[in-house]
Amino acid sequence: MLAIKNNILYKKISFIVKKHSLRTRDIIFIVGKPRSGTTWLLSLLENHTDCLGITPSMLEIETIRPTKETGLFARNLSDEEIIHKINLLPKNKKMVEKTPSHLFYIDKIKEILPQSKIILIKRNSLDVIYSMIQPNEFWSNSPKNISEATALYNKFSKAESNYLKYIDYTINYEDLWNNTETELTRLMDYLEIDTNQIPKLIKKTKDGKNLPDTLKKVFRTGTPGQHNFNKKEINYIKHRIS
């Protein structure tokens, strides 16, 4: 009986120690509406020699899609399980994670990782909704029409408003597209990442606009204003988005 109690006490103490050890970890979390540029921003940051993009395999969890989102906080894991998995990550790099739906779990992220940095990327609503309804083999439950896409857009908008106080930095997709070097410099200055590598980062990602070969069928060029909605569809969307 005493051995059982000691074992329970040991586990409790071990959990407290592990949780406390995360209080100084400044992991970067990229969030935003689906198709708003989260994968592109991750690609820019993870190619820096001081950074490392977090993958599901690093956390010993199942890979959902090739865009690297881990969904760590959206998998109904206990705090203890989440903390254990975060402690698997290297400590000699600035870790960067990208899961759009983590927008709904920012409070939990900040509770476990108070020094984490939440980076929100925002994009023109029409472009986001248009991109949502394009064929996507890696997103099986993607919106199939404008109505579904608008509903999903509003769901994410509500989360942005609800958790606004937890968001550390907001970057606009259009600004990043048009002035990649300037916007990336501002962001990396904020994150205390060496900016000398920015020209190389942009070149490595082909001006920050192209993605790996495995994703070329899914992600279009991403040019701002790419949507092809007619006036009736635009009015429908504008009257329904929040």
Residue 11 covered by a domain: no
> What's the 3-state SS for the chain?
CHHHHHHHHHHHHHHHHHHHHHHHCCCEEEECCCCCCHHHHHHHHHCCCCEEECCHHHHCCCCCCCCCCCCHHHCCCCHHHHHHHHCCCCCCCEEEEECHHHHHHHHHHHHHCCCCEEEEEECCHHHHHHHHCCCCCCCCCCCCCHHHHHHHHHHHHHHHHHCHHHCCEEEEHHHHHHCHHHHHHHHHHHCCCCHHHHHHHHHHCCCCCCCCHHHCCCCCCCCCCCCCCCHHHHHHHHCCCC
Reported as a single tens digit per residue, the pLDDT across 15-39 is: 454 555 577 789 999 999 999 999 9
Domain-located, residue 10: no
**Domain housing 127:** 21-238
Read off the pLDDT of residues 101-119 as tens digits, 9 standing for 90 and up. 999 999 999 999 999 999 9
Mean pLDDT of the chain: 88
Phi, then psi, of 176 in degrees rounded to 5:
-65, -35
231 within a domain of the structure (yes/no) = yes
pLDDT-derived band at 61, boundaries 50, 70, 90: very high
Do the domain assignments include residue 205? yes
Indicate whether 8 belongs to any domain.
no
Which CATH number covers residue 52? 3.40.50.300
User: Would residue 51 count as lying in a domain?
Assistant: yes
> Is residue 29 in some structural domain?
yes
| Residue 224 belongs to some domain of the structure | yes
pTM above 0.75, yes or no: yes
Number of domains in the chain: 1
